[in-house]
Amino acid sequence: MFALFTDFGWAGPYVGQMHAVLSAQCSNRPIVDLQHDAPAFEPRAAGHLLAAVVKSLPAECIVIAVVDPGVGSQRQAILLEAGGRTYLGPDNGLLTALALRDPRARAAVIEWQPTALSASFHGRDLFAPAAARLANGKSLPCRPLPLHDLVGADGPERLAEVIYIDGYGNCWTGLPAEDLAPDCRILCANSSFARACTFSDVEIGQPFWYENSAGLVEIAVNQGSAAAALGLTIGSAIEVRPGERLSQ
């Protein structure tokens, strides 16, 4: 299986062109659109989101991850093996969270080059055909890359900030809910609120936090938009108040 994770959105030809390359070069593998509304131009936030949403993918899946504001620059293209899956994407922090959470992870710089490579669409021209080569058992020249040399390897393992806002205005954070005590409160945008199990446990219009389906702390408003109500955007910081037990 191939899985695509990008910030492309559905407008325009980009997702379809990546499908076309993969289907033409490796027609026997299904393609799953895991997500195409990852935080645009925000590889660090998108990387923490990716680490959470890939849990639903089977082992041996090849994930093509493209949130790449530095496309066409000197940033490296890398291959990562982590959690039983293979990832291809830019070395800009997007794959770093995945790498650092698996003690057996291995990274490498992709040295293979296609015959035609545009300056601005490496998802179609480099990462998709490289993924197809791997799936077809063909060689993909690479050189090892120590994990501590990955972009962002010196950053926090968990992000106490908003990393994704879904279509309802719910705000995902980079904090695993299992790291927080049930009685702690979340503070952000000068508001403090408690945990609830799900939306129907609070009054309509009331903000709360809960453990979402990806296992992350999510800030929500029952039948409303937390982003609009609290003025939250990607990167908005949150604080954990008494009762916290964050893992180190």
Domain end residue (candidates: 149, 173, 195): 149
- Domain with residue 190: its CATH number is 2.40.30.90
Q: What is the rounded average pLDDT for all residues in the chain?
A: 95
| Whether residues 62 and 170 fall in one domain | no
Q: Is the pLDDT of residue 155 over 90?
A: no
Query: What sign has the CA pseudo-torsion 215, 220, 222, 224?
Result: negative
Instruction: Give the pLDDT score at 114.
Output: 95
Structure tokens at 78: 């890398």
Residue 27 lies in a domain: yes
Residue 244 has pLDDT above 60, yes or no: no
Q: What is the CATH number of the domain that holds 106?
A: 3.40.50.10790
Angle at 134 between CA 55 and CA 7, to 5 degrees: 50
Structural domains in the chain (count): 2
Let me know: does 101 contact 50? Beta carbons within 8 Å: no
Q: Are residues 229 and 165 in the same domain?
A: yes
**DSSP string over 122-139:** HIIIIIHHHHHHHHTT--
State yes or no: pLDDT of 139 exceeds 50: yes
Positive or negative: CA dihedral 213, 214, 215, 216 = negative
Q: Of 12-21, 136-145, 186-195, which gets the smallest average pLDDT?
A: 186-195
Q: What is the largest CA-CA distance in the chain?
A: 59
In this structure, the answer to whether residues 57 and 129 fall within a common structural domain is yes
Q: CA-CA distance, 33 to 119, in Å (whole number)? A: 24
pLDDT band at 248 (very low <50, low <70, confident <90, very high): very low
Residues forming beta bridges with residue 210, ordered by sequence position: 218
Collapsing DSSP to helix, strand or coil, 188 comes out as strand
What mean pLDDT do residues 130-159 have? Answer: 95
pLDDT greater than 70 at residue 246: no
Question: What pTM does this model have?
Answer: 0.94
Domain that holds residue 20: 2-149
- Cα–Cα distance for residue pair 201/156, rounded to 1 Å: 32
Q: Output the pLDDT for position 242.
A: 77
Q: How far, rounded to the nearest angstrom, does the alpha carbon of residue 220 sit from its chain's CA centroid?
A: 20
Query: Do 203 and 91 sit in the same domain of this protein?
Result: no
User: Which strand ranges, in their side-by-side order, compose the sheet holding 85-90?
Assistant: 31-35, 2-6, 62-66, 85-90, 77-82, 106-110, 142-145
